[in-house]
Amino acid sequence: MQSRKQFLKNVCTIATGVSWLTVDSLAGFAMPAPKKSIYFDFHCHPGWSFTERNFANNADTMLTQTVSDMKEGQLTGGFLALVADAPLIKPGPKGIIITRKYSPGDGWAEYKRQLSRLKEVFTTLSIPFSTDLSGLKAEHNGPFGYIAVEGGDFLDDQLNRVEEAYQDGVRSIQLVHYAPNSLGDLQTSESTFNGLSSFGKDVVKKMNELGMAIDVAHASFQTTKDVASLTKSPIILSHSILQMDSDRPIAMRAISKEHAKLVAETGGVIGAWPSGFNKSFDEYVDNIRRLVDVAGIDHVGIGTDMSANFQPVMTSYTQFPQVAEALKSKGLSSVEVEKIMGGNAKSVLEKIAKSRTKKG
């Protein structure tokens, strides 16, 4: 006879009139979100085309559909990430190819261009633009958009631009992405600085000062160690997953248990990443559970990488409620699920904002 745990692993506790649904079936099954829950995405690129390295040619149509999906999935908010090194990279048969380096000033100009386009999108599609946490309440209808930048390349070695970005409304900077930059080492390239650079350390201190979320996604373990030892506030790792087989797609982007624990020890949160590293929607849910077992229930969230993800096993914001229900089917309590789906995001962002050291 199957145990309850074995039974719940193989089937979902939702029945049709004919048969039981497997957990994987949830990926295509519409269901309402739990009432008054906070749903937050740590990392997304609505309307973005990685092939075009820009907002897609049909970005307005894509964005309209994405916002509709966000509302149907009852998303409360998320970090909408500009891609600082977009003109420098392109997808290749075995991963990302670095095509060139920025000339002085070009990274900042590209940041300003993307920022202007994103704010146009906010206005056109009536997405509330937020620079504080007032929108992250269960009783508020989302989605609320928070601006992040993926990669510190846009700073162009000028520390004052961190504060300029803050004044522009940016509330999170991911220090590194795919193109090597002057802030620190990344997972997918050889080491240059043995962790954070001197400039990277100054950026971390300035972000602490301003109350900005420091994102260590794509950063090497040593870079993450350096950030963790320096920061005065929790850090986030917006989108990754625990290591498994080394021959999995984009396995270099997965993190070790020690890496995950390090983020958690700062009080931080890791966004579980539904990329093609996972073999299925069901395995993604299992991998969220694995991350919880390692980092702790208070240190795991969701980071979709929508719509720039690699062979994603979660392709629409309408699936947010399905992730929640699948986690419950695997034995997590409603309280634990609410933490993962958005409660932990709200908590860590509150801590980061309160730790701001610069007054005024």
Rounded CA separation 80/129 (Å):
10
E-only strand ranges, 156-299: 170-174, 213-215, 236-240, 269-272
DSSP 8-state class, residue 174: E
Helices 160-168 and 106-124, axial angle in degrees (round to 10): 10
The C-alpha angle 130, 70, 308, rounded to 5 degrees, equals: 90
pTM, 2 dp: 0.88
> Which amino acid is it at 197?
S
pLDDT, tens digit (0-9, with 9 covering 90-100), for 179-231? 999 999 999 999 999 999 999 999 999 999 999 999 999 999 999 999 999 99
Smallest CA-to-CA distance from 210 within 233, 238, 230, 189 is with 233
Name 240's Cβ contacts closer than 8 Å, sequence gap at least 6. 217, 253, 254, 255, 270, 271, 273, 303
User: Does residue 53 carry a pLDDT above 50?
Assistant: yes
pLDDT at position 307, please? 84
User: Does residue 1 carry a pLDDT above 50?
Assistant: no
Rounded CA separation 176/223 (Å):
10
Rounded CA separation 257/271 (Å):
14
The C-alpha angle 153, 154, 155, rounded to 5 degrees, equals: 90
Rounded CA separation 299/344 (Å):
7
The answer to whether 275 touches 312, Cβ cutoff 8 Å, is yes
Helices and strands, number each (H, E), in the chain: 11, 12
Beta bridge partners of 184: 196
pLDDT at position 244, please? 97
Whole-Å CA distances, 117 to 41, 84, 114, 124, 267: 20, 14, 5, 10, 33
Three-class SS state of 216: coil
pLDDT at position 11, please? 41
Rounded CA separation 332/116 (Å):
41
Under the banding of pLDDT at 50, 70 and 90, the label for residue 135 is confident
Question: Within a 10 A sphere around the Cβ of 351, how many other Cβ atoms?
Answer: 17
Is-cis flag, bond preceding 321, omega within 30? no
pLDDT at position 25, please? 55
Domains of the chain: 27-354 (3.20.20.140)
What is the chain's mean pLDDT, rounded? 87
The answer to whether 74 touches 142, Cβ cutoff 8 Å, is yes
Structure tokens at 21: 């649904």
Under the banding of pLDDT at 50, 70 and 90, the label for residue 91 is confident
Helices 257-265 and 221-230, axial angle in degrees (round to 10): 20
The answer to whether 146 touches 238, Cβ cutoff 8 Å, is no
Three-class SS state of 186: strand
Three-class SS state of 298: helix
Torsion of CA 270, 274, 280, 286, to 10 degrees: 20
pLDDT at position 55, please? 62
Instruction: Sort 215 into a burial class: Cβ within 10 Å, 0-12 / 13-18 / 19+.
Output: buried
Q: Which helix (H) or strand (E) holds 96?
A: strand 95-98
pLDDT, tens digit (0-9, with 9 covering 90-100), for 270-325? 999 999 999 999 999 999 999 999 999 999 999 999 988 889 999 999 999 999 99
Give percent of the chain with pLDDT exceeding 90: 68
pLDDT at position 13, please? 40
